Structure 1
Amino acid sequence: MNAAPFIDNLIRDRRSKRGFLDRPVPIDTVKDILSTASHAPSSSNTQPWRCYVVTGETRDRVTRAAVAEFRANHATLAPEYPFFPQPLHEPYGTRFNTFRGQLGDAQGVHRSDKAGRLRDVERQFLFFDAPVGIIFTMDRRLEWASFLCYGCFLQNVMLAAKGRGLDTCPQQIWSLQHHLLRAELGIPQDEMVIAGMSMGWANNGMPENRMALEKTPVEQFASFAQ
């Protein structure tokens, strides 16, 4: 049987969801997803990923602390690694601004509404109400090439979740909270906080979960030599 249509649809149907239902996810399902994802390729099989899964009371404690930290210190929080160059050059700047405008419209938050935008960021530190939150770390002594391996692993996590009917949202913004996460989860200093991820059953009644994002045609990003 040709599995290509199933795999293609799985990839195309995966979306970052920013709102979840109050419906638990069995921890064994999360374990299966991570076990499957661990078959991602990595340079010389180094497998640089480490995961901290939070649910229940631990998730609630971490999210309360993260929201409080953001409210108190949002202007000074700094990530473990730069997210974008400043300024963000073209064509990436236009893509970024188009997306932010589209997301703000779906959420009913105008770009000039600073208070509303801060409330939107706070929702990220609630894992968008998903029942499962995952924090991803990597040994900081590794080189930047290991980020390539990590990207393969994260995509596998999201696709394995989607194949089980679950949705996700990868969130690099959790790197802003690396000091708090070390205290709350016992993450050692020699591990860099790469990202977080929300996982659960998406609430597709929310407009931001129904956005259709424009993807660049293959002719614009690939060249073919024969």
Structure 2
Amino acid sequence: MHVDEAIQTRKSVRRFLPTPVDRAMVEHILAVASRAPSGSNIQPWNVHVVAGAAKDRLCQRLLDAVDHGRSDTPEYHYYPQNWFEPYLERRRRCGFGLYETLGIGRGDKAEREAQARRNFHLFDAPVGLFITMDRRLEAGSFMDCGMFIQSVMLAARGQGLHTCPQAAFAWYHTLIRDELKLDENALLLCGIALGHEDPDAPENHFITQREPVSGFASFYG
């Protein structure tokens, strides 16, 4: 797959087929993604791969925590504390568009919560990747990890697979740290669902909009 096609067809898939993804494929994707750049080549990312019984056990613990209202305060702020434009409108457009595609009304709290709950069994994906970095590193390592995460998703597309990056797991870092026996310095950044897209799922036909180049780029000279 040409890199342009991989980038243009990457999307957040929210329903996967049960088709397994073998360990050799996951290792290949991670090996390709490991070529992502990082400051002074420190490669700050760590990946914790769950599948099979390990994935089922973690997901069950997460779902129990969600259902009983037990969550953490995230260890970093993903979103601004006070939204402002144009970012607020873009966020609303994304959320409203997804729920409209699913036929969930804006006032249907129960269905919206049920859809959000699906995050915690990785949207049925057979493989989950949890990305951490050492909390003693600085903001530049967040950028490095972001480039690595994008590389993982593009390498997956190159193999005909799809992904969904999920920041929702940051609200359950204590549980995940315990289940995966992570070091206390491991800062959980996100999870990534990995697998084969369910092409019949309506949510997988929702494609988010992008600003034109003229809307975000300035040219000099």
- TM norm. shorter chain > 0.5: yes
Q: Counterpart in 1 of 2:42?
A: 46
Q: Does residue 18 of the first structure (1) align with residue 37 of the second (2)?
A: no
Where do 1:94-113 residues align within 5 Å?
94-113=89-108
Q: Counterpart in 2 of 1:208?
A: 203
Q: Counterpart in 1 of 2:177?
A: 182
Q: 1:217 aligns with which of 208, 212, 215?
A: 212
| Distance (whole Å) between structure 2 residues aligned to residue 108 and residue 179 of structure 1 | 34
Superimposed CA distance per residue, residues 93-130 of structure 1 (whole angstroms, 9 cap, x where no aligned partner) = 00000100001111222232222121111100000000
Which letter does structure 1 place at the counterpart of 2:38? S
TM-score, normalised via structure 1 length? 0.95
Q: Counterpart in 1 of 2:123?
A: 128
Q: Is the 8 A contact 2:46 2:131 kept in 1?
A: yes
Residue 68 of structure 2 aligns to a residue whose secondary structure is: helix
Q: Counterpart in 2 of 1:150?
A: 145
| Distance (whole Å) between structure 2 residues aligned to residue 191 and residue 41 of structure 1 | 20
Q: Counterpart in 2 of 1:171?
A: 166
Q: Alpha-carbon deviation of 1:52?
A: 0.5
Q: Does residue 7 of the first structure (1) align with residue 12 of the second (2)?
A: no
Q: Is the 8 A contact 1:79 1:173 kept in 2?
A: no
TM-score, normalised via structure 2 length? 0.97
Q: Structure 2: which 5+ runs fail to align? A: none
Residue 189 of structure 2 aligns to a residue whose secondary structure is: strand
Q: Is the 8 A contact 2:21 2:126 kept in 1?
A: yes
Q: Alpha-carbon deviation of 1:212?
A: 2.4
Q: Does residue 37 of the first structure (1) align with residue 33 of the second (2)?
A: yes
Q: Structure 1: which 5+ runs fail to align? A: none
Which letter does structure 1 place at the counterpart of 2:106? R
Residue 70 of structure 1 aligns to a residue whose secondary structure is: helix
Q: What is the identity percentage for the equivalent residue pairs of Structure 1 and Structure 2? A: 41
| Distance (whole Å) between structure 1 residues aligned to residue 102 and residue 135 of structure 2 | 36
Q: Alpha-carbon deviation of 1:199?
A: 0.2
